[in-house]
Amino acid sequence: MRTLVAGELSLEPQTAAHAEEMFAVLSDPAIYAFENAPPRSIDWLRERFARLESRQSADGREQWLNWVIRTPAAELAGYVQATVRADGSAAIAYELASRHWGRGLAKQAAQAMIRELAEHYGVRALFAVAKRDNSRSLRLLQRLGFTLAAPELHEDRRIEPGEVLMCCDLGSREGEAR
Ligand SMILES: CC(C)(COP(=O)(O)OP(=O)(O)OC[C@H]1O[C@@H](n2cnc3c(N)ncnc32)[C@H](O)[C@@H]1OP(=O)(O)O)[C@@H](O)C(=O)NCCC(=O)NCCS
């Protein structure tokens, strides 16, 4: 994994060394209004980040890529992540501390990651699962060029009630994420 430049942001490959700083970022309760829960402790997060340094799933079939987002003020704002499959598809996700919302930082970071996925990981199709009520995340996905996936894809990917599957075909929108 490489460090990516996203305008004024820098995306650093996530390592265990980021755990302490990221614990503070990820302890913001606003992040969890729709799903998940904050990390239990710095040690727990460090151990998790250390495991993720393998950059792959336990069965080795998926690449698990995580980048932390560093602002021009040198502080961490959150992360972007991708789960890359051998069939050229990737699921993406992101979390930023709420004091960094509403400034386009998530979009900038996600666009840089998507460009990297297309150019260096052979990704042609993107997916993201969002809670139906998570309008901020859905707005971000729409700004990135995602649309609602077909009902049969919702079934294939076992999308739960209350969630939506969004998708984006990179082949049909050359250059748009740049
Ligand atoms: C989802 C999440 C990353 C979105 O963050 P965000 O800051 O709203 O997204 P963006 O970076 O695209 O910022 C867009 C907002 O900044 C505003 N903005 C200001 N300046 C901007 C600029 N130069 N460029 C783009 N947008 C700008 C936009 O108007 C927009 O606000 P609006 O949606 O109210 O119109 C954030 O809400 C989050 O971390 N949520 C918790 C975790 C989560 O739900 N993750 C997703 C799970 S599916």
Task: Give 8-46 pLDDT, tens digit per residue.
Answer: 999 999 999 999 999 999 999 999 999 999 999 999 999
Q: What is the CATH number of the domain that holds 104?
A: 3.40.630.30
pLDDT tens digits, residue range 159-175? 999 999 999 999 865 54
Rounded to whole angstroms, the Cα distance separating 77 from 91 reads 21
Whether the predicted model's global pTM rises above the 0.85 cut: yes
Element (DSSP H or E) covering residue 5: strand 4-6
3-state SS, residue 165:
strand
Cα 15 to ligand 1 centroid, rounded to whole Å: 25
For position 171, what pLDDT does the model report? 82
For position 172, what pLDDT does the model report? 64
Q: Which atom of ligand 1 is nearest to the CA of 97?
A: 39
Q: Is the pLDDT of residue 177 over 50?
A: no
Among candidate residues 99, 77, 87, 92, the one with its CA nearest the CA of residue 145: 92
Which residue's C-alpha comes closest to atom 19 of ligand 1? 103
Range of the domain at 100: 4-173
Residue 178 lies in a domain: no
Across 121-148, b (16+ Cβ under 10 Å) vs e yields eebebbbbbbeeebeebbebbeebbbee
How many structural domains compose the chain? 1
Which among 101, 126, 132 is the best mutation to test ligand 1's pocket, defined by most ligand atoms within 8 Å of the CB?
101
